[in-house]
Amino acid sequence: MVGKNCFAIASDRRLGVNLQTVATDFQRIYKIHDKLYIGLSGLATDAQTLYQRLIFRHKLYQLREERDMKPPTFASLVSAILYEKRFGPYFCQPVIAGLDDDDVPFICTMDCLGAKELAKDFVVSGTASESLYGVCESMYKPNMEPEELFETISQALLSSVDRDCLSGWGGHVLLVTPTEVQEKTLKGRMD
Amino acid sequence: MECVFGLVGDGFALVAADTSAVHSILVHKSNEDKVMILDSHKLLGASGEAGDRVQFTEYIQKNVHLYEFRNGIPLTTAAAANFTRGELATALRKNPYSVNILLAGYDKDIGPSLYYIDYISTLHKVDKGAFGYGSYFCLSMMDRHYHSGMSVEEAIKLVDQCIMEIRSRLVVAPPNFVIKIVDKDGAREYAWRESIKDTAEVSAA
């Protein structure tokens, strides 16, 4: 979700195999650099493989260009990497959030084939995405301050995952402003 | 019907696995060791298709040894787990292995750790994990009775409770189990839990 000169990215913490929950502390949001985060929902193994490939590409980019990748550039990179596997895709739906030039927040989501969807307010992905769309649409207001944004995204996440049996077991929220990053763990319905 | 489960205790990690080698309705043997000692301080409990299991775990074991010979120092548990995951991930979209793995290890400055690696190479560091039909019973038992920092006695009691649960509640329950432990003194076999012993060799008349 986008706020005033800041963004927040949140995920649930369940690692499961169909109906069985394997772990309740699974990390789904990964840091690319200080002002760029990617959340990968979907098949855990593909999320891990994709994350390793993206970090590899970003490190090479850093060595060549001597600076961090800008969020829109990174989004195009993710899109290209996903489309490379058009006929044997990575089964993940990424959510990318970052601070662009002049600390303008940038968010986008993609399907598993790399179809980019830019938005100015919020983006969602995962098994509870329909729920999330509904809740975010009603709770979102433009230009929220960091504290209010954090509150809104946490409530949105918790209410949506409560209605989805495959998501939940707590939440993980990262609030990124130009000066700092706040990472918080949410305790929701543990079921 | 294969079961592998493991947990992390106070300064140790243990992995238990059933010991039956089964082909459709026939039990070939009931003393098949499915927990491989990877190196001095690592255990690899594996379950899945028999050929893949033996082949893949031996491959990992030899590569772990090779690293130690080449570089003079052993791999950390995390490194071994990530290597295993990488091998499974590379093979996944070509000719996948169907092996589920629990990798337990002890590192001097990190302590004990347990890694859950499933057959599609999902890697996660856990305190307790289980695979197979037995996991439905083991995970619930461990959710109830596990706490961090268990002593060896408490952990073995919990393992025995899990084995009891599997034996009494799983329809084609494996009769025998092997328990292996890894701590600062190394990886070693701890005990067998046998309810059916293979008959002794009969000499030719």
Partner residue facing A22 (CB), from B116, B121, B136: B116
Return mean pLDDT, chain B: 93
Residue A134, amino acid: G
Determine the pLDDT at residue B175.
92
Task: Convert the pLDDT of each residue in A90-133 to its tens digit.
Answer: 999 999 999 999 999 999 999 999 999 999 999 999 999 999 99
Determine the pLDDT at residue B205.
52
How far does A188 lie from chain B, in Å, by closest CA? 18
How far does B131 lie from chain A, in Å, by closest CA? 10
Task: Enter the ipTM.
Answer: 0.90
User: Hey, what are B163's tokens?
Assistant: 């084995």
Distance between CA A163 and CA A169 in Å, rounded?
A: 12
Determine the pLDDT at residue A191.
82
Q: With an 8 Å Cβ cutoff, are A48 and B139 in contact?
A: no
Write out chain B in H/E/C secondary structure: CCCEEEEECCCEEEEEEECCEEECCEEEECCCCCEEEEECCEEEEEEECHHHHHHHHHHHHHHHHHHHHHHCCCCCHHHHHHHHHHHHHHHHCCCCCCEEEEEEEEECCCEEEEEEECCCCCEEEECEEEECCCHHHHHHHHHHHCCCCCCHHHHHHHHHHHHHHHHHHCCCCCCCEEEEEEECCEEEEEEEECCCCCCCCCCCC
Q: Is residue B41 very low, low, confident or very high in pLDDT (cuts 50, 70, 90)?
A: very high
Task: Convert the pLDDT of each residue in A24-75 to its tens digit.
Answer: 999 999 999 999 999 999 999 999 999 999 999 999 999 999 999 999 999 9
Q: Does A55 touch chain B (CB under 8 A)?
A: no
Determine the pLDDT at residue B203.
55
- pLDDT value at B151 more than 90: yes
- pLDDT value at B199 more than 70: no
Determine the pLDDT at residue A19.
87
Distance between CA B8 and CA B151 in Å, rounded?
A: 10
Higher pLDDT, B205 or A169: A169
| A contact residues 6-35, partner B, Cβ 8 Å cutoff | 15, 17, 20, 22-23, 26
Residue B30, amino acid: S
Determine the pLDDT at residue A147.
94
Task: List the single best residue of B122, B128, B143, B148 to mutate versus A (max A Cβ within 10 A).
Answer: B122
Residue A79: which region, alpha, beta or left (left: phi > 0; alpha: psi -120 to 50)?
Answer: alpha
